[in-house]
Chains A and B, each alone.
Chain A
Amino acid sequence: MEPLTVVGKPVTRVDADEKVTGEAVYGYDLVLPNMVYGKILFSPKAHAKIKRINIDRARQYPGVVAVVTGKDAPWIHGESIRDKPFLAQDKVRYIGEPVAALAAVDEDTAEAAVRLIEVEYEDLPAYTSPEDAARPDAAAIHENFASYRKMPFVTPGIGNVCEHFKLRTGDVEHGFREADIVLEERYSVPIIQHAAMEPHSAHAQVDPATGRVTIWVANDAPFRALHEITEALDLPKEKVRFINPLQGGGFGSKGGLKVEPVAVALAYKTNGRPVRVKFNREETFISTLTRHGAIVHVKSGVKKNGAITAREMTIYWNGGAYAEKSPTVCIRGSLPAPGPYRIPNVKVDGYAVYTNLPVAGSFRGYGIPQGAWAVEQHTDELARRLGMDPLAFRMQNVFADGDTSYWGEELHSVGLKETLQKAADAIEWGKKVDGVPGSRVKGLKVGKGLACIQKPTRSPTTSSAGVIVNAKGEASVLAGTVEIGQGCNTILCQIAAEELKMPFDKVRTAPLDTDVIPYDASTTSSRSTYHMGNAVKGAAIDAREKLAELAAPMLEAKKDEIAFADGKIFLKHQPEMALPIGEVVRRKLGAEGTVRGDASYTYELAKDLDLETGHSDNASAFYMYATQAAVIAVDEETGRARLLKMAAAHDVGKAINPINCAAQIEGGLAMGIGSALHEHLVIDQNGKVRNPSFLDYHLVTALDLPEMVPIIVECPEPEGPYGAKGLGEPGLAPTPAAIGNAVADAIGTRVHDLPLSPERIFWVIQQKKKGKAA
Chain B
Amino acid sequence: MKKKIQVTLNGKKTDLEVPSHRLLLDLLRDEIGLTGTKEGCGTGDCGACTVLLNGKPVNSCLIFSGELDGADIVTIEGLKIGPELHPVQRAFVQDGGVQCGYCTSGMLMMSKALLDENPDPSEDDIRFAISGNLCRCTGYAKIVKAVQDAARELRARR
Chain A contacts to B: CB under 8 angstroms: 12-13, 15-17, 19-26, 28-29, 31, 107, 194-199, 246-249, 251, 280-281, 484-487, 659-660, 662-663, 666-671, 693-695, 699-703, 705, 708
Contacts and interface: CB of A to CB of B under 8 A. Distances in A.
Contacts of B92: 16, 20
B66 interface: no
A667 B101 CA distance: 13
Nearest to A248: B102
B37 A702 contact: no
B158 interface: no
Q: Lowest 8 CB-CB distances: which A-B pairs, in order?
A: A22-B36, A485-B100, A248-B102, A670-B139, A19-B101, A694-B45, A22-B76, A666-B139
A17 B142 CA distance: 16
Contact of A660 (B96, B102, B127): B96
Contact of A666 (B36, B42, B138): B138
Contact of B136 (A19, A659, A699): A699
Contact of A670 (B30, B102, B140): B140
Interface of B: 29-30, 33-43, 45-46, 48, 75-77, 79-80, 85, 89-90, 92-94, 96, 98-105, 108, 126-128, 130-144
Given A22-B35, A28-B38, A708-B139, A694 B76 contact: no
B139 to A, nearest CB: 3
A22 B93 contact: no
Find the residue from A22, A199, A666 having the highest chain B CB count within 10 A. A22
Nearest to A731: B139
A663 B96 contact: yes
A24 B43 CA distance: 23
Contact of B39 (A28, A663, A694): A28
B131 A29 contact: no
A663 B131 contact: no
26 contacts: A12-B94, A13-B93, A16-B101, A19-B101, A20-B85, A20-B90, A20-B93, A21-B89, A22-B76, A28-B39, A197-B48, A246-B101, A248-B101, A249-B99, A249-B100, A485-B101, A662-B96, A666-B139, A667-B137, A667-B138, A670-B140, A694-B43, A702-B144, A703-B127, A703-B128, A705-B140
Contact of A702 (B45, B77, B127, B136): B127
A671 B127 CA distance: 17
B3 to A, nearest CB: 16
The binding surface of chain B is classed by DSSP as loop
Contacts of A662: 96, 142
Contacts of A29: 29, 35, 38
Contacts of A705: 139-141
Nearest to A28: B39
A486 B101 contact: no
Nearest to B129: A702
B33 A197 contact: no
A636 to B, nearest CB: 26
B126 to A, nearest CB: 8
Contacts of B139: 666-671, 700, 705, 708
A211 to B, nearest CB: 31
A289 to B, nearest CB: 14
B95 to A, nearest CB: 8
B101 to A, nearest CB: 3
A695 B41 CA distance: 10
B45 A695 contact: yes
Contacts of B90: 20
Contacts of B98: 13, 15-16, 19-20
A487 B93 CA distance: 13
Nearest to A198: B102
B80 A21 contact: yes
A694 B100 CA distance: 19
